[in-house]
Structure 1
């Protein structure tokens, strides 16, 4: 059963990785929710309204019967869609109140942000409580540039705001902003403030990742030494150790500030596992950081990054984490080692065989082709499954890409290779990294790219939606084929 699950997930991951790269933002950040600006943009009307009549007493109880409780609100200020609000009779001298679902008890007179859709009657969202400062914050949103460092400069002032609603929204704005915009703000960042937040164990891990990313753009060598102390954990109290959450971003920050020599510490602490018990979550975080750095050629030479990644080829259960990266960056020096790994694979790491085959297929060296013939005699089913996964990836990669109106939206890692042939690129894409036995527990950024913020749908996206449905139909079919093959061919006792 575990083998079936692994192969079903692997097939889905391959298909997802073969899709055109989405515009990526902060490389280690994940937005918690839609930002105020995104919600307002998706609505047809937006207002600041005052609660004038709360839901009836008792209707907010979990045991209450009847329809969902509703509150009544009086429009105080129209932020968007003034004509629609007026047409619905919700503004002016004879305005009627807005009535919408309200699931929390709040005092009469409290201010809320409401968004409406489906004119002319307008259907309203659940109310979002806002104070006077939040009202002023929301008013400013319409005056900000649509993108760029100048937009982020406003939200930077509200990171770790005393009003957590504003702090959360400011974080989300950074999380969905193009990485180039974050870097463009470096001269206006406050390194001392960022470092203080990073070292504060009470700061949320997802926000710490953002602050580490920002510090990597603006910090000093002295800041690097402080981050290095966090990485090593030397002399940290139990409470201070909490500041090591968000380890992937901390590693990337450390290397960005200190340069290639910083990888010596990273290798020693997280990747060289000989005779050492390194938690899988920490090794995985290091791999995620190296993937980011591998695209930042101005920070660390890619050859040096690859040297660090190749250390995991000495760990049979973890080698599959990096095989895709070696193929994508055309490091063909690992052919002999991977052939040995294939031959020596046991039940607890048999899954490494398929990515090895696809690495060899992508490799242009004649010894790689000869190796495939040799390995097919050892495990023909692994070679067949690898070909199936590569074929699915190639078919999906051939689909017309969605239009992208933001050429500068992606951070390092979102670009595609120009050198390999289309077939080689598809094969390299098909080598999906599969996690080992352990599941990371505190590495939000170490999750697959599907965790990234989805862009707000644009008008005229019907063709894109049609292709998405076609692609997912192919994914379902591929999963079914691979799952049946796995059930039929999996050896007894395989995990």
Structure 2
């Protein structure tokens, strides 16, 4: 879900999301639906009986092709009567699939072009063999922008549902130039921008960074779906240099340039998109930009009132315990006297106070200085603001 992690800001330690973090994936891709069937056929529509108040009607199909049929239960030329009415032109072709032989239990017939039938009947089915998952996924690459939307949407969905670790080995198989073109094509669905931006970074060359930077820095809407994926792809290409550009252009400033070159206010969503991209780099590409550098970047946003609680949560999850005194100053600052921020500070101190130390030569555990300090600060807050501390502790992820 690479391109909707979207990596969420949770109140405590969480497991890394495994799906494509900038994609919205469907519940089941076509291959998963097919895998649950015993039969997959192509049928030609012969006509049907419309539904009434007491019946669902019926539709007749001649079997033209058989992708598979358990026990060879169906044959070419056979006529099937599906117990539901389909409104279609006579001669139209449909996929017919389902379990066993009870046609009442089959999927609703779906109209399919010749290209769609070839795609569906030849696609490799899902596998639990990790070594084969990348090889299987390669089948779908040529179909990303097929003119047949059934094919295009399903091929994209396969990547959206795939773990990033399965996608990454395919970087040399991805169509680099086409992806760059799709990224800037206004006809391509905006729901794919994040995915194509990330893939452009994964398979791109250094000179491609200019294309991604131009897209990131030119503000053409108040909210840009998927721009966080483009930012992540940009950092894949440029590393710390790219991160510096994002810091200066999206984190340290509150203005931006629109498509005409006019200076406009920087939308909140742009800065939040950088946060999402930082989370991606932390979780999936920790070797491209050091985690210490990512922590330093996230700390820039502590002064942003509208983001502070999210930033504090991320710093706690990343075990950056270097800002305890700064957070205490924020707690006392009226600018940050917002319940969500104060609760985030309490949770940060609590998680830090729970950190375990190494055992000494005598076998006794020595608590980290940061944990001791956090414990003392937490007790101080309990004296000053017991209600907020109590409220924050109620929802701790322990």
TM-score class, shorter: 0.7 to 0.9
1:162-217 CA-to-partner distances (Å, cap 9, x unmatched) read: 11111111101111122122211111222211100001122112222221121111
Partner of 1:268: 248
Partner of 1:47: 41
**Counterpart contact for 2:82–2:103, Cα < 8 Å:** no
Give 1 or 2: higher strand fraction.
2
1:39-68 CA-to-partner distances (Å, cap 9, x unmatched) read: 111234332222222353xx6xxxx85554
Indicate how the Cα distance of structure 1 residues 257 and 388 shifts in structure 2: closer, same or farther if over 3 A, else same: same
Name which of 350, 373, 383 aligns with 1:377.
383
Separation in 2, partners of 1:91, 1:48? 11
**Counterpart contact for 1:209–1:250, Cα < 8 Å:** yes
**Counterpart contact for 2:255–2:266, Cα < 8 Å:** no
Partner of 1:399: none
Report matched runs for 1:9-28 at 5 Å: 24-28=18-22
Name which of 105, 109, 115 aligns with 1:127.
109
**Counterpart contact for 1:201–1:242, Cα < 8 Å:** no
Partner of 1:423: none
Partner of 1:492: none
Partner of 1:183: 168
Partner of 2:360: none
Name which of 193, 198, 211 aligns with 2:196.
211
Determine if the alignment matches structure 1 residue 336 to structure 2 residue 316: no
**Counterpart contact for 1:26–1:176, Cα < 8 Å:** yes
Partner of 2:298: 309
1:114 deviation in Å? 2.5
Counting matched residue pairs gives: 362
Partner of 1:368: 374
**Counterpart contact for 1:182–1:214, Cα < 8 Å:** no
Determine if the alignment matches structure 1 residue 30 to structure 2 residue 24: yes
Indicate how the Cα distance of structure 1 residues 189 and 92 shifts in structure 2: closer, same or farther if over 3 A, else same: closer
Separation in 2, partners of 1:71, 1:131? 19
Determine if the alignment matches structure 1 residue 284 to structure 2 residue 269: no
1:225 deviation in Å? 0.8
Indicate how the Cα distance of structure 1 residues 78 and 274 shifts in structure 2: closer, same or farther if over 3 A, else same: closer
Separation in 1, partners of 2:337, 2:266? 18
**Counterpart contact for 2:64–2:76, Cα < 8 Å:** no
TM-score in terms of structure 2 length = 0.81
Separation in 1, partners of 2:173, 2:255? 45
**Counterpart contact for 1:198–1:208, Cα < 8 Å:** yes
Separation in 2, partners of 1:80, 1:342? 65
Further displaced range: 32-41 or 269-278: 269-278
Separation in 2, partners of 1:228, 1:19? 31
Determine if the alignment matches structure 1 residue 151 to structure 2 residue 136: yes
SS class of match (1:126): coil
Determine if the alignment matches structure 1 residue 79 to structure 2 residue 67: yes
SS class of match (1:54): strand
Indicate how the Cα distance of structure 1 residues 274 and 233 shifts in structure 2: closer, same or farther if over 3 A, else same: closer
Superposed CA RMSD in Å reads 3.0
Partner of 1:109: 91
1:25 deviation in Å? 2.3
Name which of 282, 293, 298 aligns with 1:294.
282
1:75 deviation in Å? 2.9
Indicate how the Cα distance of structure 1 residues 375 and 317 shifts in structure 2: closer, same or farther if over 3 A, else same: farther
1:70 deviation in Å? 4.0
Separation in 2, partners of 1:179, 1:303? 23
**Counterpart contact for 1:342–1:375, Cα < 8 Å:** no
Name which of 237, 242, 245 aligns with 1:257.
237
State the structure with bigger RCO (CA 8 A, min sep 6), 1 or 2: 1
SS class of match (1:115): strand
Further displaced range: 217-226 or 116-125: 116-125
Partner of 1:6: none
TM-score in terms of structure 1 length = 0.66
Indicate how the Cα distance of structure 1 residues 231 and 206 shifts in structure 2: closer, same or farther if over 3 A, else same: same
**Counterpart contact for 1:116–1:122, Cα < 8 Å:** no
**Counterpart contact for 1:55–1:71, Cα < 8 Å:** yes
Q: Which residues of structure 1 form unaligned runs of 5+?
A: 1-12, 395-495
**Counterpart contact for 1:343–1:375, Cα < 8 Å:** no
Indicate how the Cα distance of structure 1 residues 374 and 214 shifts in structure 2: closer, same or farther if over 3 A, else same: same
Separation in 2, partners of 1:275, 1:201? 25
Indicate how the Cα distance of structure 1 residues 18 and 307 shifts in structure 2: closer, same or farther if over 3 A, else same: closer
Indicate how the Cα distance of structure 1 residues 46 and 209 shifts in structure 2: closer, same or farther if over 3 A, else same: same
